Amino acid sequence: MESWSFPPVYDESYLPPVDSRYWFKQRETMPAGERERAILERLQQVCRYAFEHSPFYRSKWSEAGFHPDHLKSLEDFEDKVPVVTKADLRASQAAHPPYGDYLCVPEREIFHLHGTSGTTGRPTAFAIGRNDWRAIANAHARIMWAMGMRPGDTICVAAIFSLYMGSWGALAGAERLGAKAFPFGAGAAGMSARCAQWLDLIKPSAFYGTPTYAVHLGETAIKEGLDPRKFGLKQMFFSGEPGASIPGVRGRIMDLFNAKVFDCGSMAEMTPWMNVAGSAETSGMLCWQDVIYTEVCDPNSLRRVPYGQRGTPVYTHLERTSQPMIRLASGDLTQWVNEANPCGRTYPRLPNGIFGRIDDMFTIRGENVYPSEIEAVLNEIPGYGGEHQIVISREAAMDELLLRVEANDKIFAEGAVEKYRAEVSHRIQKLLGLRAKAEIVAQATLPRTDFKARRVVDDRAVFRDMNAHLERAE
């Protein structure tokens, strides 16, 4: 296969013919069985490498009775190699600061440092070697090529440049692609209005950010007297939160900007995080198995589920030598299928992207609910104003759910607020099988964000205040 080695070695001058659908045609279109045989050989190499260089893996695997010599099939990999969790990584870094004892390269070889913010506990440090950074750039360029981006295109990266891996990974891919990189960033006061002005001026071909920010940016542009559809964007690719695979959200972004929308992104720990990503012809997210081997597993048994079923992705690096992740359990929920893809690539696919984190799920009267499901329903209702909050009561005898939902100006101008409220309640009841109260507020009432949306509020005081307000209005 093209450039198939471990550690990876890429020709930095290589580019496919500009009219080619594929970056590496053989790797992307080969029969799945042939690819799996190659992946097994790579897994044997990766496991031997980690065993030799990482006390973390030697200890964990010894406890589980696994040795790399035992790996003879993909079934052995599933049966014998224990999963790694984020808690394992935090414990390793606490015991062996700052990078943990799963860092497999000398510290002098570290090229990029990223990580979590640490706002809810000890931060996790991501240490990426120089050679790994180039492999990440090559992988991202290849996947961005599949979305339709080409050398010479201008790619605006409108995400926070900080510890967050998304913006840096998108920038690395754009640079390797030979594009004109436009690292605009995000987060500063007034920056969205300036971003809209720059997009109108520069007319970039492509845009990267979070789905929430794209909607906010489009709304801001309109308030500034600009038409986002005239920015000239062709591709908009997103990560950081569910949304770009949700039909209502994707449709809203497409309508605002008149551009193709692509969902991508697994986990920062798994960078190149575009290892699950759509292509120009295929929606949802392809599992680019020759970059990162993805299994979708039952969240409890961590055994692979059959195609067509839901489970949690479990990821394994096939190219990383610094902090390699081998069977990292994501904690997300998705569904996978294995069917012919319109783009001709022979990878499994997540047709609906990543639904959200399993620990983001909440239970209302015995029903498991994901915030992304509510978001999808609201985005399909005509008149939705673009933002909402989910408020949960835990103190009553029965769980209660309240929604604070924005409606657009037309709903208020036509006096249709009560009709809209009833429609929201009806749609949510149909989704959940239980009654949900809804409060309708004007557009731009609820806060926007330049980053990931946080819409679930589990706050008894907020619930009491909203419930009293609604009861007075009824």
**Predicted local confidence at residue 435, as pLDDT:** 75
Which ranges constitute the DSSP H helices of 185-230?
A: 191-202, 211-223
Helical axes 55-64 vs 86-95, angle rounded to 10°: 130
104 and 208 assigned to the same domain? yes
Percent of the chain with pLDDT over 70: 91
Q: Mark 145-156 as b/e (b = at least 16 C-beta within 10 Å).
A: bbbbbbeebbbb
Question: What is the Cα–Cα distance from 178 to 144, expressed in whole angstroms?
Answer: 11
Range of the domain at 271: 1-357
Q: Do residues 352 and 401 share a domain?
A: no
At which of 303, 325, 357 does a domain end? 357
Query: Does one domain contain both 376 and 447?
Result: yes
Rounded distance between C-alpha atoms, residue 347 and residue 367, angstroms: 33
pLDDT of residue 460: 39
Tokens standing for residue 273: 């995080």
Domain finish residue from 357, 381, 397: 357
Per-residue confidence (pLDDT) for residue 347, from 0 to 100: 98
Q: What is the pLDDT of residue 376?
A: 82
Do 283 and 368 lie in one domain? The reply is no
Q: Is 282 helix (H, G, I), strand (E, B) or coil?
A: coil
Domains in the chain, number: 2
- CATH, residue 322: 3.40.50.12780
**Maximal C-alpha separation, the chain:** 71
- Cβ atoms of 440 and 420 within 8 Å: the answer is yes
Q: Are both 448 and 304 inside the same structural domain?
A: no
Residue 277, pLDDT > 90, answer yes
Residues 139, 57, single domain; the answer is yes
Domain end, chosen from 357, 378, 399, is at: 357
One domain for residues 307 and 370: no
CATH of the domain at 408: 3.30.300.30
Is this structure's pTM higher than 0.85? no
Return the pLDDT at 471.
Answer: 62
Residue 448 or 72, more confident: 72
Clarify whether residues 29 and 156 are in a common domain: yes
> Do 179 and 322 fall within a single domain?
yes
pLDDT tens-digit profile of 367-392? Answer: 667 787 788 889 889 999 988 998 87
Q: Are residues 407 and 451 in the same domain?
A: yes
Which phi and psi (to 5°) does residue 8 adopt? Answer: -70, 145
Token pair for 356 = 């959200």
pLDDT digits (tens, 9 = 90+) for 445-469: 988 766 666 777 655 344 455 555 5
**From CA 384, how far away is CA 387, in angstroms rounded?**
8
Quick count: other Cβ atoms within 10 Å of Cβ 205? 21
